[in-house]
Amino acid sequence: MTTSRRVAFNDGNAVPQIGLGVWRTPDEEAASVVETALRAGYRHVDTAKIYDNEEGVGEGLRAAGLARDELFVTTKVWNDDQGYDEARRALDASLRRLGLDQVDLYLIHWPSPRRGRYVDTWRALIAAQRDGLARSIGVSNFEEEHLERLIGEMGVAPALNQIELHPRFQQRSLRAAHARLGIATESWSPLGQGKLLIDPAIARVAAKHGRTPAQIIIRWHLDSGLVVIPKSANPNRIAENFDVFGFALDAEDMTAIHGLDNADGRIGPNPMTADF
């Protein structure tokens, strides 16, 4: 069954391998988009305080009528809320907007090195997990040196690091660090924000399997052991992006997609220099 594919965390919990991303889904559309995805079989939704749609997401979660323990909800602490007290207040506010007592995964959205507060923020997340407000805790956009510092100073490794990752920016060295440190990898902008859907190499693999480019790319993430959170607000595409188990990529396909990796393939900000 599709919904049973999960990736294990270092804290004993696990995450459904496909989730719905809702960045740029307006709050007023989020309820129906989330409900549509849950009815299509998704059990995992990825939001953030900065997406400004946690209320709509919460409404959609309730509308689908599923038991709480069937759902996996991620949200993130924004850069302005970094710091021990600030992060705890931010989590309380996110929970209120979502209408939940606990999130399944709470992430530090960016390390924001210039603020120098991500270790203090991590301390707040460790306390939040202890207090039952977050089942698992992790980070996003952390580079290896940031991960090493958290683990060195606090002794707790993130369950997961959510990073920009798609066939044109495969993050092989950071993934190797994750494997060494016991951290799951989650791919943001897994379709390259849609730009990869017209790549000729992807199109060839799609034609070979009679599948869409989006399905090929999502399947590549899954077969690479990654957690993947494609975004769509369109019901047909939401269903298409989850219908990825009726075919298999072979070694030739994996090699072709492997070959698209490009050191300059990053679309989003570089976490070392991002200044927001």
Which residues does the annotation mark as catalytic?
51
User: Is 239 near ligand NAD (CB under 6 A)?
Assistant: no
Is 258 one of the annotated binding-site residues? Answer: no
User: Is 271 near ligand NAD (CB under 6 A)?
Assistant: no
Task: State which residue, 2 or 193, has the beta carbon closest to ligand NAD.
Answer: 193
Of the candidate residues 36, 82, 121, 141, the single one contacting ligand NAD (CB under 6 A): 141
What stretches of 113-249 show up as alpha helix (H) in DSSP? Answer: 118-130, 144-154, 172-181, 200-209, 213-223, 235-242
CA end-to-end span of the chain: 41
User: Is 190 near ligand NAD (CB under 6 A)?
Assistant: yes
Shortest separation between residue 153's beta carbon and ligand NAD, angstroms: 22
The rounded distance, in Å, linking the Cα atoms of 231 and 193 is: 8
Judged by CB under 6 A, the chain residues 11 through 40 that form the site for ligand NAD are 21-23
The rounded distance, in Å, linking the Cα atoms of 212 and 204 is: 10
Of the candidate residues 26, 194, 225, 246, the single one contacting ligand NAD (CB under 6 A): 194
Strand locations in the chain (E): 6-8, 14-16, 20-21, 44-46, 72-77, 103-108, 134-140, 160-164, 184-188, 227-228
Shortest separation between residue 141's beta carbon and ligand NAD, angstroms: 5
Neighbours of 173 (CB within 10 A): 10
Binding residues for substrate: 109
Contact set with ligand NAD (CB under 6 A): 21-23, 46, 109, 140-141, 162, 188-194, 197, 212, 214, 229-232, 237, 240-241, 268
